[in-house]
């Protein structure tokens, strides 16, 4: 199915028949992705007073209880309420769901004992392009990103200047295949989060950060339309399903 989308007075032809889902699903158990020192998520049949929520075990329905943390266990999209004293809900702050996006691939640079994404790298990848959303795929891009245990591994992260650059360039939505845009153990500084959301000045209420994506290697760098949908949770973050659509013209 080919659709025409008008964006900033320009018409784009988009192939809606071939979506590329770049989310990591919640599956429960030890093979699920994990970060921030939590136990594995659980997805188990509900049991209560003789009732079992599993048809194969005699129940009338499949009826699972699910325990998880969106920041630790699944692709999720968060708003500035993630780091503010005042409550902000992703379900209220994200009002639009289609965005012109750029997919880039970056090899994090070594800085001491860390690997980081710098302003220079983002400037080189984006150039003069103006995009509402930026999808960052890091190298190496191995399939085990879908099930990796990130706690105590010091994953790559964005430097503060890189996040400031994205805010200045008016990128509203940044998506990364990492557990966080910030360093795993930074003493609570959250430099990239604060810089991107402008918490020390004009707060960017509609801006979002999506973490724990996975961009397959056969998705080429370039421009796409992004459909960014979140589960309707009144929370600072929610499980999300970012989907890329190829632009034909």
Model confidence over 117-153: pLDDT tens digits?
Answer: 999 999 999 999 999 999 999 999 999 999 999 999 9
- Phi and psi, residue 78, nearest 5°: -125, 155
Please give the pLDDT value at position 152. Answer: 98
Measured CA angle at 209 (ends 207, 215), to 5 deg: 130
Confidence (pTM): 0.96
Residue 42: CB partners within 8 Å, gap ≥ 6? Answer: 28, 29, 65, 66, 67, 68
Boundary residue ending a domain (74, 91, 106): 74
Do 48 and 31 lie in one domain? The reply is yes
What is the tally of structural domains in the chain?
A: 2
Q: Which residue intervals of 26-182 are DSSP H helices? A: 70-73, 90-93, 119-126, 160-168
Asked if pLDDT for residue 11 goes beyond 80, the answer is yes
pLDDT per residue as tens digits for the range 97-120: 999 999 999 999 999 999 999 999
Whether residues 118 and 202 fall in one domain: yes
**40 and 123 part of one domain:** no
Is the model's pLDDT at 28 over the cut of 80?
Answer: yes
Same domain? For 105 and 218 the reply is yes
pLDDT at 4 over 90: no
Is there a single domain that holds both residue 11 and residue 31? Answer: no
The confidence score (pLDDT) of residue 103 equals 98
Q: Give the pLDDT score at 7.
A: 82
Residue 155, domain CATH: 3.50.30.50
- Which of 40, 56, 74 is a domain's end point? 74
Domain span at 42? 26-74
pLDDT, position 2: 87
State residue 149's pLDDT score: 98
């Amino acid at each position: 199915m080919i659709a025409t989308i008008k964006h900033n007075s320009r018409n784009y032809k988009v192939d809606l028949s071939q979506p590329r889902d770049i989310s990591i699903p919640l599956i429960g158990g030890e093979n699920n992705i994990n970060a921030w020192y939590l136990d594995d998520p659980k997805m188990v049949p509900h049991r209560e007073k003789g009732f079992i929520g599993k048809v194969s075990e005699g129940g009338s329905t499949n009826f699972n209880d699910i325990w998880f943390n969106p920041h630790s266990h699944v692709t999720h999209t968060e708003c500035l309420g993630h780091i503010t004293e005042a409550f902000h809900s992703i379900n209220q702050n994200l009002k639009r769901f289609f965005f012109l996006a750029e997919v880039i691939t970056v090899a994090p640079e070594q800085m001491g004992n860390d690997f980081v994404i710098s302003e220079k790298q983002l400037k080189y990848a984006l150039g003069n392009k103006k995009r509402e959303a930026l999808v960052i795929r890091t190298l190496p891009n191995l399939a085990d990103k879908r099930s990796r245990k990130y706690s105590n591994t010091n994953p790559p992260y964005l430097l503060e200047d890189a996040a400031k650059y994205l805010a200045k360039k008016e990128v509203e939505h940044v998506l990364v295949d990492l557990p966080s845009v910030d360093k795993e153990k930074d003493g609570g500084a959250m430099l990239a989060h604060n810089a991107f959301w402008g918490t020390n000045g004009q707060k960017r209420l509609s801006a979002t950060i999506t973490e724990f994506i996975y961009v397959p290697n056969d998705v080429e760098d370039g421009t796409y339309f992004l459909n960014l949908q979140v589960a309707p949770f009144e929370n600072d973050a929610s499980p999300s399903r970012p989907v890329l659509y190829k632009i034909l013209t």
